Amino acid sequence: MHDLGGVLTRRAFYGLLTLFLLITLVFFVTRFVGDPVAMLAGSDPTEEMLQQIRERLGLDVPVWQQYVTFLGDIVRGDLGDSYSQGVPAVELVAERLPATLLLAVLALLLAIVISIPIGVIAAIRPGSLIDSVARVLAVLGQSVPVFWLAILMIIFFAVNLRILPAGGTGTWQHLVLPAVALSISSVPLTMRLTRSALLEVLNKDYIRTARAKGLREWEVVIKHGLRNALIPIVTVLTLRLGDLIGGAIVLEQVFAYPGLGRLAVQALHVRDFPVIQAFIIVTAAAIILINLIADVIYTVVDPRVRVN
């Protein structure tokens, strides 16, 4: 019996280490390159004003001291106040996070519902018409800029057909176009992966045994095939959630959807660094946490993973 607790502790430690390194990178890159003081002071600042702002932001002490203070603040969950809005940056991010997560999770579910059945059909009948069409669509889907596809969808469904709103928020109709557009970025990969994972499993001996037992074909494919092919699929899907959040950031601009992305892009335009830092740290922490949970789930579910 392998030491499950040990494996998970090590993974959690690596996750924290990764987050710590990222925070360090973000801190030094912003301090090294950006100059928030000049920006806050406006035009023609006096030396006195500059000094006041530096003191208020804690920028008047040596960098290593700022770094230690910064780490201490993060541990307490304090990432500073927004330069432009004057409220805690963490609050701003926390307020917007659910909207973006909702969009990403909806897109993930849609991607699963669309891509797994197509992948299964393509694996059962490799070389068939459906397989070929799916392959072409997958190649196209990986080459298309999603924000542009979203605009095409707005032109078609909102401008021409007038059946869905072009942007904004409030009702479930507002979520349809953004979620569908976002899911399209994940469908090609998931579909190809389902196909190849299932094809591999279907060549195994136990599938032949299942067929020899006289099971119906769908039972062989779903119960014995798909179940065993699910692990690589689930792994890649959880890893996709990070890219989905990234995609949501861009799509929120297209649809004027009030999530993290709009907050971040506004903050980036005015170089509101506390908000930018909070955005990056919270997003990265969420992604690392999701990966960790995925690790835990399949370590527990699949005994084969533990051996490696």
Binding site for another protein (CB under 8 A): 14, 17-19, 21-22, 25-26, 29-30, 33-34, 139-140, 142-145, 147-149, 151-152, 154-155, 159, 242-243, 245-247, 249-250, 253-254, 264-265, 268-269, 271, 276, 280, 283-284, 287-288
**Which structure tokens are listed for 52?**
């006041």
Shortest Å, Cβ 110 to another protein = 19
What is the rounded distance in angstroms from the CA atom of residue 73 to the CA atom of residue 71? 5
Nearer to another protein, 21 or 293 (CB): 21
What is the rounded distance in angstroms from the CA atom of residue 32 to the CA atom of residue 178? 37
Shortest Å, Cβ 229 to another protein = 17
Shortest Å, Cβ 209 to another protein = 26
Nearer to another protein, 74 or 210 (CB): 74
Tokens 């971040």 correspond to 264
What is the rounded distance in angstroms from the CA atom of residue 170 to the CA atom of residue 174? 7
Nearer to another protein, 224 or 238 (CB): 238
CB proximity list for 114: less than 8 A, separation 6 or greater: 183, 187, 191
**Which structure tokens are listed for 38?**
């000049």
Decide: residue 212, CB within 10 A, 0-12 exposed, 13-18 middle, 19+ buried: exposed
Tokens 């499950």 correspond to 4
User: Residue 135 — φ and ψ, nearest 5°?
Assistant: -65, -45
What is the rounded distance in angstroms from the CA atom of residue 218 to the CA atom of residue 221? 5
Shortest Å, Cβ 128 to another protein = 19
Shortest Å, Cβ 286 to another protein = 10
Nearer to another protein, 50 or 284 (CB): 284
What is the rounded distance in angstroms from the CA atom of residue 252 to the CA atom of residue 265? 10
Contact between 123 and 194 under an 8 Å Cβ cutoff? The reply is yes
Nearer to another protein, 40 or 254 (CB): 254
Shortest Å, Cβ 63 to another protein = 16
Report the candidate in 222, 240, 237, 245 with the shortest Cα–Cα distance to residue 297. Answer: 237
Nearer to another protein, 61 or 268 (CB): 268
Nearer to another protein, 120 or 276 (CB): 276
Task: List C-alpha distances in Å: 50 to 45, 57, 218.
Answer: 7, 11, 72
Shortest Å, Cβ 142 to another protein = 6
Decide: residue 293, CB within 10 A, 0-12 exposed, 13-18 middle, 19+ buried: exposed
Nearer to another protein, 210 or 261 (CB): 261
